[in-house]
Structure 1
Amino acid sequence: MRFHGPSPTSRPSEPRATAPPDDRLDPAVAAALLTAGYRALGPVGRGSGGPAWSATSLDEPGLRVVVRVVDLAPDPRREARLRRLVGVSHPHLARLVAAVPVPPDRCALLVEHVPGPTLEALREARGPLTSGEAVTVAVPLADALDALHTAGLVHGDVSPANVIVRQDGRPALVDLQGAVVDSGGTVGFAAPELEQGVEPSAASDVHALAQTILAQLPPDRPPGTPSAELTELRAVIAEASAPEQEARPGARAFGDACFRVDEAEPIGLPDPSVLARTELARLAARPGARSTTRPGAVVRGRGASRHRAPRRWRGPAARLVVAVVVVGLAGTGALALSGSARDADVAAESPAAASPVLTAAPAPDPVAAAVALTAARVEAIASGDSARLDAVEGPGSPAHVADTRLLAELAEQGVRVEGLQVQVHDARRLVGRLADAARASREESAPAQRTARVEVTSTLSSHRRVGVDGAVLQEVAASGPTAVVLVLRLTAVGWRVAEVEVSPHR
């Protein structure tokens, strides 16, 4: 991301232009966009902070952005927030492509256009999410909020209308203007303190995310008995929606709590034509439904027990693919991911991965796949190319999020890894008692044709951490043999790592 033209902090002496009263693009904004190499296409709706427009890059015709204009003048803190936002990058947060100054004291935020339906449209087109699908949404979004909060920012307007589900099932949080200009949020999702004029906080974001997830679930008391997972998920949401800010967990803790409730599963997307009809009907029926006020819809506790039946253990020792890579890269400052158990599980595969066709034919050898995936993950880390992780982990999964974030932080620090290689000494499929031990008391599992557990013992070579100038920052010694159990899941494109468990022989 880069600033275009003069710094947004500049204060030219000409009189300040006022925006048109309607949703027409201000000529001053259009001119600033053209100067920066972007052409406005037309309005794309309204957010809590006003209208938004679509624009395209003149240099890269395929690059589409959503333009929102923020006023930097009333509060000097806004400029500092904008500069912090420039440095935030997360795979489940819409990317800030550019910040274009609009003299004298406005700025156009150019945020990547994320194609796909909103959670709001998805709910209307196909009905509620299952608890597993809700986890697939909640965990990556909580991680995205954590990235903002770590930078000292808030989103300010988490709601179903500001969450996009890409065609591959990955959720993304959009509309970043609330990170610069205080937002009152969206009716029914904003925290109660915002109604009292309190500035948005990290706790406010957690409340809004919890309410957003709640809105995707079936009714509180549907016909029949709700599953234990839904009951527990509502209890987690109730805690995150507490009236008092200090009683709510942090974003990462909320994601961890959701992760422990149920197995994440791919989000089922309806036919695109159904989504299109639903979205058109919704826009026609509810123009201007977004609001900056908040009546409040706080979830109260429903008596759900916080003591659940034992599930698969996901302790701190669980790591992605080759756990010892974490040791080899220690000291980069980018390894906070290893402290969170949820980072070891795959949350969202593409919808095609759930196809029953996969169980109709013999699966490829999972042992050979485990060896190849082990090598592929290390090669991706060594290359610094996050796109290569798609061949190892399900795109959009917490595992994919963690590794992508690791590579992004290494790149930001100007650090690359040289000479890193992995040697697999042994790989064998676990069956019978060993497989049961690896499951660590989990009562249910995926169909045998689609899931395999492979114990892999490997070592890492000695390698170097090298700075951008080529100077060696650290020499890392070779690791000793380490055994982990890779839980593989068969997808439409082959075996992918679903989770990592402690070896029963450890």
Structure 2
Amino acid sequence: MPAAAPPAEPEPAPPVVPGYVLETLLGRGGSGEVWRALPRRGGEAVAVKVLVAGEPERQAREAVMLGALDHPHLVRLIEVVHQPRRGGVARVALVLELLAGGSLAALLARRGRLRPGEVVTAIAPVAAALAHAHGAGVVHGDLSPGNIVFTAEGRPVLTDLGVARVLGETAAAEVTPPYVDPTVARGGAPGPASDVFGVAAAAFHALTGIAPWNAATPADTLAVAAGGHLPDLAELAPDAPAALVAVIHRGLAADPHDRGSAAAFALDLRHACRPEPVRLPADGVPDAELGRTDRGPRTELTHQVPGRRARPAPVIAGAPGRGAQVRDRLRGGARVVTPRSAVLVCALALLVAVGWVGIRWAGGDAAGVDAGTVSAAVGSDLPQAPPTTPAPPTGAAVPVADRQEAPTSVQGWRAVVTELYDRRAAAFVAGSPAGLADVYAEGSPLRAADEEHARSLAAAGEALRGFAPTVVAVTAAAAEPGRVEMDLVDRWAGYEVVAAADPEGPAVRSVPGRAEATVRMVLMRTPAGWRIQSAQRLG
């Protein structure tokens, strides 16, 4: 009589995470589990990453890092939840956006390889996200197709920043051998150049169908990587555009100094080949890569990162940004801020409080603005400062924002601000950061933020379509020589993000509009005319 089959192991019971109902296990790795979950208070499904192993300090660092790095192609952290445990240290759970399109690794396992235009669409935005992180003094350290994950609409998102590190930090490095930088495989420290290698290696695999390094075991693969002898990309992808092959080849250069920056890689990749939408299966890519904590065989390399300080970042005055809001939402205890994670916060201080591509004014108190100084002046005369430059020749049409005289009514100020809004929108639609010089006063933190977001948009090969904020009214204004502070009401309709190479083509994604809101704004008179110094959303 045949022996009875052993009973199947029961599915693991989902952990308890305050505020969420965990439904389906998406993935399990060495540091924890990822579950599909629903908020108890209602809302869209999310991914909850429950950290069950590792040092609490590292977990805190990951939470701070995810909350502070704000980019459309970096996984979005919704909140951090502490799980109280009787008699033990509370666990940390990260609530992340649910990326329903599956990973690039799963897509390649299903399709083999991508078309050249799809490679550009999948990889260039990720390189732009890396450039954003590098600008904040943070490296990823272990980039592979497993942590490039798509939304349901096909937008690529870089995940698994738990292995990332502040430049100058001492730590062990976990790597995925088929995509590791040979310098790191030989014991070197991960840095921006190794991230460029990683994103180029992902592009190599997407274009050819095979990873750069291959062997029977992870240890053998690591040894192959340390040797640094790459397969011939041109032979493996004979039909690929030569310019695309050249960009990927440069990113895989043996000398890290020859690889260029992540921003340059993103831009050059975009210009090397016309992008096209990534074809995801109609039923999605069913795998465990939706925010999973482990991506297959990994080898831990222990080494000492050279003892250099993280490069200082400029501190920009303004309201708390997204990172501060995330840290303030920690549940079940105080903020997760340790001495090492505090260094990270300093390194990320350049992230100012504006939304993606700088199209939302900050909330909270703006530096240099006294809420009590705005006077209700609708219909009243405002002091007029004497002009500081000669008047233009008779008949010359000088835009209202470029005039030296101060308008004497709120209607006049509305015309000035409307012109500045139009210029700002045109700069983003045209992908021209230089155009923002005609919007902001020199030294305005908003200008620096807008320029950074415009560069990130360009590096991702994307543009805006239909972005046109409207100034509804100026409700109050108070002027003094060379400066005016006003309250205004603005709004904008929904708009679309499109491929820069095909601005009339299908939208990559849609961005909802915003209803009317009150904004407090300060304009300064400059030699070129009136320019925005600061702006904050009220209420």
Provide TM-score, normalisation by structure 1: 0.54
Aligned to 1:291, the other structure's residue is in SS state coil
Change (3 A) 1:397 1:146: farther
Aligned to 1:89, the other structure's residue is in SS state coil
C-alpha distance in 2 between matches for 1:416 and 1:188: 52
Q: CA RMSD in A?
A: 4.8
Q: Of the candidates 498, 504, 512, which is equivalent to residue 394 of structure 1?
A: 498
Change (3 A) 1:64 1:463: same
2:469/2:492 contact within 8 Å kept: no
**Structure 1: runs of 5+ lacking an equivalent:** 1-21, 296-317, 350-372, 420-460, 472-506
Determine which structure has more spread, i.e. the larger CA radius of gyration.
Answer: 2
Q: Of the candidates 44, 50, 62, which is equivalent to residue 26 of structure 2?
A: 44
1:345/1:398 contact within 8 Å kept: no
C-alpha distance in 2 between matches for 1:174 and 1:386: 31
- Tell me the residue number matched to 1:166: 151
Q: How does 1:57-68 map to 2 (within 5 A)?
A: 57-68=39-50
C-alpha distance in 2 between matches for 1:238 and 1:174: 24
- Tell me the residue number matched to 2:246: 235
- Tell me the residue number matched to 1:483: none
C-alpha distance in 1 between matches for 2:459 and 2:132: 18
Aligned pair 1:114/2:99, yes or no? yes
Change (3 A) 1:221 1:293: same
Q: Write the deviation string for residues 102-161 of structure 1: whole angstroms up to 9, x where unpaired.
A: 562653222221111221222233342222221112221011112222233222332212
C-alpha distance in 1 between matches for 2:160 and 2:206: 20
Q: How does 1:300-339 map to 2 (within 5 A)?
A: 320-321=428-429, 324=435, 327-329=438-440, 331=444, 332=446, 333-337=448-452
Q: Of the candidates 460, 465, 468, which is equivalent to residue 536 of structure 2?
A: 468
Change (3 A) 1:386 1:339: same
The amino acid that maps onto 1:118 is S
- Tell me the residue number matched to 1:139: 124
2:133/2:139 contact within 8 Å kept: yes
C-alpha distance in 1 between matches for 2:139 and 2:520: 30
1:346/1:398 contact within 8 Å kept: no
Change (3 A) 1:346 1:252: closer
Q: Of the candidates 460, 468, 472, which is equivalent to residue 377 of structure 1?
A: 468
Q: Of the candidates 83, 94, 104, which is equivalent to residue 64 of structure 2?
A: 83
The amino acid that maps onto 1:293 is T
2:244/2:272 contact within 8 Å kept: yes
Deviation at 1:386, TM superposition (A): 8.9
Q: How does 1:92-241 map to 2 (within 5 A)?
A: 92-102=73-83, 104=89, 106-179=91-164, 183-218=173-208, 220=233, 225-227=238-240, 229=241, 231-241=242-252
The amino acid that maps onto 1:91 is P
Name the count of aligned residue pairs: 336
Q: Write the deviation string for residues 49-106 of structure 1: whole angstroms up to 9, x where unpaired.
A: 45433333212342312314176747x5764564343211111111112222356265
Q: Write the deviation string for residues 435-463 of structure 1: whole angstroms up to 9, x where unpaired.
A: xxxxxxxxxxxxxxxxxxxxxxxxxx967
C-alpha distance in 1 between matches for 2:101 and 2:51: 23
Aligned to 2:102, the other structure's residue is in SS state coil
Change (3 A) 1:154 1:39: farther
Aligned to 2:468, the other structure's residue is in SS state helix
- Tell me the residue number matched to 1:256: 267
Change (3 A) 1:235 1:342: farther
Change (3 A) 1:467 1:418: closer
- Tell me the residue number matched to 2:298: 292
2:270/2:459 contact within 8 Å kept: no
Deviation at 1:417, TM superposition (A): 6.6
C-alpha distance in 2 between matches for 1:462 and 1:403: 32
C-alpha distance in 2 between matches for 1:386 and 1:247: 44
Aligned to 1:41, the other structure's residue is in SS state strand
Change (3 A) 1:345 1:248: closer
2:99/2:152 contact within 8 Å kept: no
Q: Write the deviation string for residues 211-236 of structure 1: whole angstroms up to 9, x where unpaired.
A: 11110103646699524x2x332332
Change (3 A) 1:292 1:345: closer
C-alpha distance in 2 between matches for 1:210 and 1:98: 31
Aligned to 1:128, the other structure's residue is in SS state coil
Q: How does 1:467-506 map to 2 (within 5 A)?
A: 467-468=535-536
C-alpha distance in 2 between matches for 1:203 and 1:168: 30
2:251/2:265 contact within 8 Å kept: yes
Does 1 or 2 have the higher relative contact order (CA < 8 Å, sep 6+)?
2
1:184/1:194 contact within 8 Å kept: no
C-alpha distance in 1 between matches for 2:537 and 2:112: 54
**Structure 2: runs of 5+ lacking an equivalent:** 1-9, 166-170, 210-232, 302-425, 472-487, 524-528
Aligned to 1:62, the other structure's residue is in SS state coil
Deviation at 1:342, TM superposition (A): 7.4
The amino acid that maps onto 1:63 is A
Provide TM-score, normalisation by structure 2: 0.51
1:195/1:294 contact within 8 Å kept: no
Change (3 A) 1:81 1:50: closer
C-alpha distance in 1 between matches for 2:490 and 2:234: 48
Change (3 A) 1:79 1:467: same
Deviation at 1:397, TM superposition (A): 8.8
Aligned to 2:118, the other structure's residue is in SS state helix
Change (3 A) 1:340 1:40: closer
Deviation at 1:184, TM superposition (A): 1.2
C-alpha distance in 1 between matches for 2:55 and 2:69: 23
Q: Write the deviation string for residues 383-439 of structure 1: whole angstroms up to 9, x where unpaired.
A: 99898231xx327999999999xx9xxx9xx987799xxxxxxxxxxxxxxxxxxxx
Aligned to 1:272, the other structure's residue is in SS state coil
1:65/1:110 contact within 8 Å kept: yes
Change (3 A) 1:55 1:258: same
